[in-house]
Amino acid sequence: MSRIILITGATSGFGKAIAEKFAKEGYDVIITGRRLERLQELEKELHAIGAKVLSLNFDVRKRYEVQDIINDMPEEWKNIDILVNNAGLAVGLDHIDTGNIDDWDRMIDTNVKGLLYVTRAVVPLMVARNSGHIFNISSIAGKEVYENGNVYCASKHAVEALSKAMRIDLLKHNIKVTNIAPGMAETEFSLVRFKGDKEKARDVYRGIEALRAEDIADVVYYCATLPPHVCINDLTITPAAQANVYYNVRLKG
Ligand code: NDP
Ligand code: 8X3
Predicted confidence (pLDDT) per residue in 118-153, tens digit: 999 999 999 999 999 999 999 999 999 999 999 999
The residues, any chain, with a CB within 8 Å of residue 205's CB and separated by 6 or more, are 184, 186, 190
pLDDT at 28 over 80: yes
pLDDT at 3 over 80: yes
Bridge partners, residue 53, by sequence: 29
pLDDT at 83 over 90: yes
pLDDT tens figures, 180-234: 999 999 999 999 999 999 999 999 999 999 999 999 999 999 999 999 999 999 9
What are the Cα distances from residue 90, in Å, to 68, 117, 150?
Answer: 27, 19, 10
Looking at the chain, which runs of residues are DSSP E strands? Answer: 4-7, 28-33, 53-57, 82-85, 132-137, 175-182, 234-237
The binding-site residues of ligand 1, defined as CB within 6 angstroms of any ligand atom, are: 8-15, 33-35, 38, 59-61, 86-89, 110, 114, 137, 139, 182, 184-185, 187-189, 192
More confident position, 253 or 238: 238
Domain 4-237, CATH among 3.40.50.1970, 3.40.50.720, 3.30.379.10, 3.40.50.300: 3.40.50.720
For the whole model, what pTM was predicted? Answer: 0.98
Confirm whether 152 is a catalytic residue.
yes
CA distance 46 to 10: 12
Q: Which ligand is nearest to the CA of 57?
A: 1
CA distance 192 to 146: 18
pLDDT tens figures, 48-72: 999 999 999 999 999 999 999 999 9
Cβ of 137 closer than 6 Å to ligand 2, yes or no, is no
pLDDT at 1 over 80: no
User: For the chain, first and last CA: distance in Å?
Assistant: 52
| pLDDT for position 27 | 98
Ligand 2, pocket-test mutation among 189, 191, 247, most atoms within 8 A of CB: 189
pLDDT tens figures, 84-117: 999 999 999 999 999 999 999 999 999 999 999 9
pLDDT band, very low/low/confident/very high, at 252 (cuts 50, 70, 90)? confident
Closest CA relative to residue 212, chosen from 236, 237, 194, 232: 237
Ligand 1, pocket-test mutation among 6, 7, 11, 14, most atoms within 8 A of CB: 14
Please classify residue 74 by burial: count the beta carbons closer than 10 Å to its beta carbon, then call 0-12 exposed, 13-18 middle and 19+ buried. Answer: exposed
CA distance 201 to 211: 15
Tell me the helices (H) and strands (E) count for the chain, helix number first: 9, 7
Q: Which ligand is nearest to the CA of 138?
A: 1
Cβ of 87 closer than 6 Å to ligand 2, yes or no, is no
pLDDT band, very low/low/confident/very high, at 253 (cuts 50, 70, 90)? low
